[in-house]
Amino acid sequence: MTELAHFINNALVAGTSGRNQPVFNPATGESEKTVALASADEVNTAVAAAKAAWPAWSKTPALRRARILDRFKSILWERADELARAISCEHGKTHDDALGEVTRGLEVVEFATGAPHLLKGEFSENVGTGVDSQSIRQSLGVVAGITPFNFPAMVPMWMFPVALACGNTFVLKPSERDPSAPLLIAKWLAEAGLPEGVFNIVQGDKEAVDTLLHHPDVKAVSFVGSTPIAQYIYETGTAQGKRVQALGGAKNHMVIMPDADLDMAASALMGAAFGSAGERCMAISVAVPVTDAVADALIDKLIPKIEALKIGPSDMKGAEMGPLVTSQHLDKVHGYINSGEADGAKIVVDGRNFKQDKQGCENGYFIGGTLIDNVTTDMKIWKEEIFGPVLSVVRRKSYDEAVELIQSCQYANGTAIFTRDGDTARAFSQDIEVGMVGVNVPIPVPMAFHSFGGWKASIFGDHAMHGMEGIRFYTRIKTTTLRWPTGQRSDPEFVMPTLG
């Protein structure tokens, strides 16, 4: 059985810890390979490689760094299908969905190729008599990324293209559930001309994470995952003096106003709730129809659509939703549906009844789309992130009640409102305490030249990812004040200099 290894100094490096774990194909339930789990010594080797590469890479002109990223972007574009297949085989999402993931990651690479412009500093002439001042942005050194299973290509590309463009070197600890896509990315970066040690991968679990968090040569850590782990990453990393951006969980609501286009809203909910089997931090998991009449009409439109979902492996023609990532996660999602039913919610469409009959996939981790009505805020299925294809309906009588519901949620990653009224949309956009807002857009993921990040328990740290926030996170400002000798006599000054 193939063991997936680490990637250090532009080469695959076999694991030496003696620990590994199986990597499953979610569509079949079969283990087709294993992944090495790094020891602290192996992580230290990767960090040492990155540290050794940093001096030369940080002094490489930004234009040359951008050209390497541009070549990498071309390779990504040409081989998107190959990367998408690697994603689907280990995550389970459909091929088209995986291609979409690759495209969104590629857009961050495109943004990062603008490094020569993005890293321009500031200069002020004559801040004092014969004195000039300049500010520049410089890299931090070795930075690390710890990324989740649900986007094994896109989320790393939220991080490393910007970090590399800024002159940092990078150590990635991807999810051990789907490690093949990051290894392809590493191979293609080397092919594009990235020098040895600039980008490295260590496979692993908590031991690898903790080693990165405590390593004195790792200057910053980027993370995407669940809120409890995000908080742990943030508190542990900052206690070690590191910069940390840690994106956590979500419970994203979509408000449907009485004036909304219900056909548009229902179609939007289908993609936002059930795309990628709901394993997205930006998935809409709560529909908030305003008035019972809107709720009843919306549910009537959703039922046939959910029942008609085409569910199957990524190679099934026309598949709209694949399996969940692991058998354990399948059990967890079933448990949430059971909990909602026990608490008195109405299971309108029950995904627990779905059976996959495609030959070879009978033991895959499949579940059907689920629609639950009459969900209340005291229920576990509203309070917690389900991360599966389960759409809860929380009815509200007015716009104000809908807003109050969202404001009371501990998470604040994304939200949306569907309405034809400009005043309502503007008020919602301005007043809602959520980091990313959509108006008649169900999944308001910003483009790469803006930044991605929620509020409240959905993020720990002061900087969102990619866009200019990413540039600021991966650099530090240095300001130099300059005066050149003029040949005139200069007497000592014993007061606070004003330069005026």
* Helices within 365-500 (DSSP H only): 380-383, 399-407, 422-431, 467-473
Amino acid at 290: V
Task: Residue 382: name the closest of 412, 416, 340 by CA.
Answer: 340
Round to whole Å and give the CA distance between 136 and 155.
28
Strands (E), 410-463: 411-412, 414-418, 436-439, 455-456, 459-460
Helix (H, G, I), strand (E, B) or coil at 223: strand
Q: What is the DSSP letter of 461?
A: S
Exposure b/e, 232-243, CB count within 10 A at least 16 = b? bbbebbbeeebb
Round to whole Å and give the CA distance between 268 and 431.
23
Helix (H, G, I), strand (E, B) or coil at 410: coil
The Cα angle at residue 120 between residues 118 and 122, in degrees rounded to 5: 135
CB 286 within 8 A of CB 251: yes
187 burial type by CB count under 10 A (0-12 exposed, 13-18 middle, 19+ buried): middle
Task: Residue 302: name the closest of 287, 315, 314, 292 by CA.
Answer: 287
CB 265 within 8 A of CB 297: no
Which of these is catalytic: 89, 281, 361, 409?
Answer: 281
Round to whole Å and give the CA distance between 158 and 153.
9
281 labelled catalytic: yes
Residues 6+ apart with CB under 8 A from 425: 417, 419, 439, 440
Round to whole Å and give the CA distance between 232 and 273.
28
Phi-psi region of 25 (alpha: psi -120 to 50; beta: other; left: phi over 0): beta
Task: Residue 414: name the closest of 391, 389, 397, 433 by CA.
Answer: 433
Active site residues: 281
